[in-house]
Amino acid sequence: MNKTALVTGAAGGIGSAAARFFAREGYNVVINYRHSKDAAKALEAEICAGGGRALVFQADVAIEAQVAAMFARCAAEFGGVDVLVNNAGIAQQKLFTDITQADFDEMFAVSVKGCFNCCQKALPYMVHQKKGKIINISSVWGVCGASCEVHYSAAKAAVIGLTKALAKEVAPSSIQVNCITPGIIATAMNASFGFETLESLISETPLGRIGTPEDVAEIILFLASEKADFITGQVIGVDGGFH
């Protein structure tokens, strides 16, 4: 029976690239989105047209009841989730003194609570199966921090901490939990950077270019594979040497 991969925030960027890669490898793919219905449905159609199997599910990962419904649907359709990719996130550039309580709460709700909610719902099946893969998408800013993105950097650092602790807790069940910290990637989320900012970031990247969603998806696919069965609790940078 084919394995099932659930990718949160899969309607574009890194998430959609990962979904395509999983479909290419024969996985059942669950495409989660919050707002981008048209993009999610288009991705589903693309995967199915290529002979793959995909399921689209709208859910706000910060809301436990919606996450529970999504995993219940996965269980009904595919038996459970073998690979969870916690990719959903938001970005915002603001001076620290301008960040509101609402800004801070939403940032942590999506990036940290969303990751927490999905891990909690995925683990019972994985523990029962005595195997599973959880791949959390953080950011290079979660490692080194970014000016004018304090709440984003802090939330992504929290994802790293969650990854390391959870990896130790579920290792006896042969479940691997790892984290990827992308650098500057060509996604809609980073489209708000101005030309001068992007040029500066590229100049600080030893490999001298912006990364692609596919650069990150390749590592996601590797960590989901049996080749990575002895890798857990790790933070893997895909950043062109930025950090």
Q: What is the pLDDT of residue 199?
A: 86
Does the domain at 4-238 match CATH 3.40.50.720? Answer given as yes
Catalytic-residue membership of 27: no
- Torsion 123-127-129-134 (CA) sign: positive
Q: Catalytic pick from 27, 33, 125, 152? A: 152
Give the pair of three-digit tokens for residue 64.
């436990």
Q: What is the pLDDT of residue 187?
A: 81
Distance CA 183, CA 201 (A): 9
Give the pair of three-digit tokens for residue 103.
């800004």
Q: Tell me: the pLDDT tens digits for 15-72? A: 999 999 999 999 999 999 999 999 999 999 999 999 999 999 999 999 999 999 999 9
Q: Tell me: the pLDDT tens digits for 122-144? A: 999 999 999 999 999 999 999 99
Examine the pLDDT at 218 and tell me if it is beyond 90: yes
Contact (Cβ atoms closer than 8 angstroms) between residue 177 and residue 170: yes
Q: What is the pLDDT of residue 129?
A: 98
Q: What is the pLDDT of residue 186?
A: 87
The alpha helices in 171-239, defined as continuous H runs, are 195-203, 213-224
The alpha helices in 130-206, defined as continuous H runs, are 141-144, 150-170, 195-203
Residue-range domain boundaries for the chain:
4-238
